[in-house]
């Protein structure tokens, strides 16, 4: 009975089912639903379960979970699904249990899940439903062993999917997750090793065998010639000088040009406006936007795009020293806009402004910038949702859709022009800091001043979901690498529309 069930539900006719069962452990999602529980009767051939008693016991536990071990060193992990779940539920559960299973050398996992039709209101598609189930298993394979020998090895995963899409999904998802691990490695590494010139070298090395991509670097000596004065001011206080890296994926007969901009503050002390020491070690991840874009380019290496894709990544360390820029300084940008420095800890927008101006060299049709820009975005939306600002409703809708498909969620925020008053300066065109109220909005309005009038633009403030947090198990121990999957999916969806 068990083998026939697997053949029917796992859609893997060539599989050695006896061999799988002899090694695999099971993660079983259950519902308090008699018709569904009948489908799990096959488990009673191998483990004695009274589902009525099991569900009663699960309801009394805080976790709604129970692990049953057998004499054959296999485990059956039962997870009760109640009515109130969100799109992170399956990823969270498969991550937690897969991580422990992998640590105990289980490398074959069978997941038994309900039909997608029961969760249509939560997930945008059947494909997304399966991705969320499988993703937790693959994320559990990440280990922050940047300084140790590491081989990424994913376990064998089988799922009772009533769809032929799952096997293809697994192959694609493995490649996507490996790409996102690039971003995670970069943002979790020591800032002693990840700084402007080193990340440029690492990225060049990453793409050196790839003919599809050109990597250019504007180093410290060339920044003055290119008039990247925001980047010069922010980075000049560090012994590790700033640079801007350019990634170009050109396409013959391209339909249009897309520019991705990523904030690359490799360490943010706050500069002269020094941050509190508590939590400052996490500021190595203030280049999460740039890291996600590097990883997204890597994830797209085998994809033929119908448009030119350009990445502009300004890198700097924001450090206090005798050379540092100061509150009260005036920055004169190459497009003529002058900015009074109100707060040196509002540095991200200053380097992004340079990149937004520089983007005009590529006649962009679309610009998307990704940045850990403000704590205000975290206050507004918490640690799981990024703030989206845009001058184009269709672009916003496409980004939000990509977020739903990848579970890297966005929420559209207002570009309320009246708040520009907070950025007014008596001695310059703008101040770089508009005060504590509506800080995420005023930061976006500042950036908007540097965007061409005819360009479709989106700013994504990823300060919440990029850093470690305790709300999700898979982002509790490490910086997340948020944005890699989102940007990749958005670009692929855009490619299909052309």
Q: Kindly report the CATH number assigned to the domain that includes residue 96.
A: 3.40.220.10
In degrees, to the nearest 5, what angle opens at C-alpha 181 toward C-alphas 175 and 185? 155
The SS3 assignment for 329 reads: coil
The domain boundary residue, chosen from 105, 134, 163: 163
- Name the strands in the sheet holding 25-30, side by side, starting at the edge strand that comes first in the sequence: 65-69, 75-80, 25-30, 108-112, 156-159
Q: What is the SS3 assignment for 207?
A: helix
Domain that holds residue 11: 2-163
194 within domain boundaries: yes
The answer to whether 195 touches 317, Cβ cutoff 8 Å, is: yes
Residue 187: which CATH number? 3.40.630.10
CA distance 314 to 245: 6
Paired tokens of 441: 């909005």
Give domain status of residue 331, yes or no: yes
264, 235: one domain: yes
pLDDT, residue 145, reads: 55
Clarify whether residues 101 and 6 are in a common domain: yes
For residue 159, the model assigns a pLDDT of: 87
Asked if residue 245 is part of any domain, the answer here is yes
| CB neighbour list of residue 369: distance below 8 Å, 6 or more residues apart | 260, 261, 262, 263, 289, 352, 355, 356, 447, 457, 458, 459, 460
Q: Does 101 lie in the same domain as 195? A: no
pLDDT per residue as tens digits for the range 45-59: 778 889 999 999 999
Closest CA to 27 of 87, 99, 93: 93
Based on the fold, state whether residues 148 and 215 are members of the same structural domain.
Answer: no
pLDDT at 49: 87
Angle between helices 89-103 and 126-139 (to 10 degrees): 30
CA angle 214, 491, 226 (to 5 degrees): 40
| Single residue among 102, 134, 163 that ends a domain in this structure | 163
**Same domain? 57 vs 195:** no
**Is residue 447 in a domain?**
yes
Specify whether 294 is located in the same domain as 360: yes
Query: Is residue 313 assigned to a domain?
Result: yes
Q: Is 349 a catalytic residue?
A: yes
Marked catalytic residue, from 249, 349, 456, 485: 349
The verdict on residue 317 lying in a domain is yes
Task: Please say which residue of 136, 163, 190 terminates a domain.
Answer: 163
> Do 199 and 304 fall within a single domain?
yes
* Co-location of 301 and 429 in the same domain: yes
Return d(Cα 61, Cα 400) in angstroms, integer. Answer: 36
Residue owning tokens 């013959």: 252
Task: Please list the ranges in the chain whose pLDDT falls under 70.
Answer: 1-23, 71-72, 144-151, 162-164
As a whole number of angstroms, the distance between CA 417 and CA 415 comes to: 6
Residue 141 sits at φ, ψ, to 5 deg, of: -85, -10
Are residues 112 and 223 located together in one domain of the fold?
no
Total number of domains constituting the chain: 2
Q: How far apart are CA 271 and CA 276, in angstroms?
A: 11
The reply to whether 476 and 365 lie within a common domain is: yes
- Which of 302, 321, 314, 381 minimizes the C-alpha distance to 349? 314
The single residue listed with the structure tokens 């700013």 is 459
| Contact between residue 347 and residue 265 where contact means Cβ atoms under 8 Å apart | yes
- My answer on whether 223 and 364 are in the same domain is yes
Residue 225 among the catalytic residues:
no
Does 449 reside within a domain?
yes
Residue 175 is assigned to a structural domain of this protein: no
491 and 381 housed in the same domain:
yes
Residue among 118, 275, 332, 412 flagged as catalytic: 275
| CB-CB contact of 488 with 299 (8 Å) | yes
């Amino acid at each position: 009975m068990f083998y026939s069930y697997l053949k029917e539900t796992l859609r893997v006719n060539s599989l050695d089912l006896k061999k799988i069962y002899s090694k695999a452990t099971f993660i079983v999602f259950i519902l308090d639903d008699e018709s569904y529980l009948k489908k799990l009767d096959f488990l009673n051939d191998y483990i004695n379960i009274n589902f009525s008693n099991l569900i009663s016991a699960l309801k009394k536990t805080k976790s709604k979970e129970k692990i049953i071990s057998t004499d054959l060193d296999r485990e059956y992990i039962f997870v009760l699904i109640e009515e109130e779940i969100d799109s992170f539920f399956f990823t969270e559960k498969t991550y937690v249990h897969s991580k422990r299973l992998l640590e105990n050398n289980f490398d074959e996992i069978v997941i038994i899940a309900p039909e997608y039709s029961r969760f249509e209101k939560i997930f945008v598609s059947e494909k997304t439903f399966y991705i969320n189930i499988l993703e937790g298993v693959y994320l559990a394979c990440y280990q922050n062993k940047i300084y140790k020998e590491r081989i990424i090895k994913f376990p064998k995963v089988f799922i009772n999917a009533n769809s032929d899409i799952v096997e293809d999904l697994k192959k694609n998802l493995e490649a996507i997750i490996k790409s996102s691990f690039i971003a995670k490695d970069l943002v979790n590494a020591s800032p002693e090793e990840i700084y402007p010139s080193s990340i440029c070298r690492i990225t060049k090395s990453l793409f050196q065998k790839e003919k599809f991509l050109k990597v250019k670097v504007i180093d410290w000596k060339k920044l003055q010639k290119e008039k990247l004065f925001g980047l010069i001011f922010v980075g000049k206080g560090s012994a590790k000088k700033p640079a801007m890296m350019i990634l170009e994926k050109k396409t013959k007969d391209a339909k249009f040009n897309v520019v991705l901009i990523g904030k690359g503050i490799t360490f943010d002390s706050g500069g002269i406006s020094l941050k509190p020491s508590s939590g400052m070690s996490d500021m190595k991840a203030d280049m999460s936007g740039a890291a996600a874009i590097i990883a997204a380019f890597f994830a797209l290496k085998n994809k033929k795009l119908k448009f030119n894709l350009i990445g502009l990544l300004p890198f700097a360390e924001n450090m206090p020293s005798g050379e540092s820029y100061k509150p009260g300084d005036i920055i004169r940008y190459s497009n003529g806009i002058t900015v009074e420095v109100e707060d040196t800890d509002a540095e991200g927008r200053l380097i992004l402004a340079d990149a937004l101006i520089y983007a005009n060299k590529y006649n962009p049709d679309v610009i998307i910038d990704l940045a850990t820009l403000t704590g205000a975005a975290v206050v507004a939306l918490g640690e799981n949702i990024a703030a989206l600002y845009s001058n184009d409703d269709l672009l916003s809708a496409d980004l939000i859709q990509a977020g739903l498909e990848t579970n890297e969620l966005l929420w559209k925020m207002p570009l309320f022009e009246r708040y520009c008053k907070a950025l007014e300066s008596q001695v310059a065109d703008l101040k770089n800091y508009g005060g504590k109220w509506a800080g995420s909005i005023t930061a976006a309005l500042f950036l908007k001043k540097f965007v061409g009038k005819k360009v479709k633009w989106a700013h994504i403030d990823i300060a919440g979901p990029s850093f470690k947090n305790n709300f999700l198990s898979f982002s509790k121990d490490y910086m997340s690498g948020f944005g890699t999957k989102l940007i990749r999916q958005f670009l692929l969806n855009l490619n299909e529309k052309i």
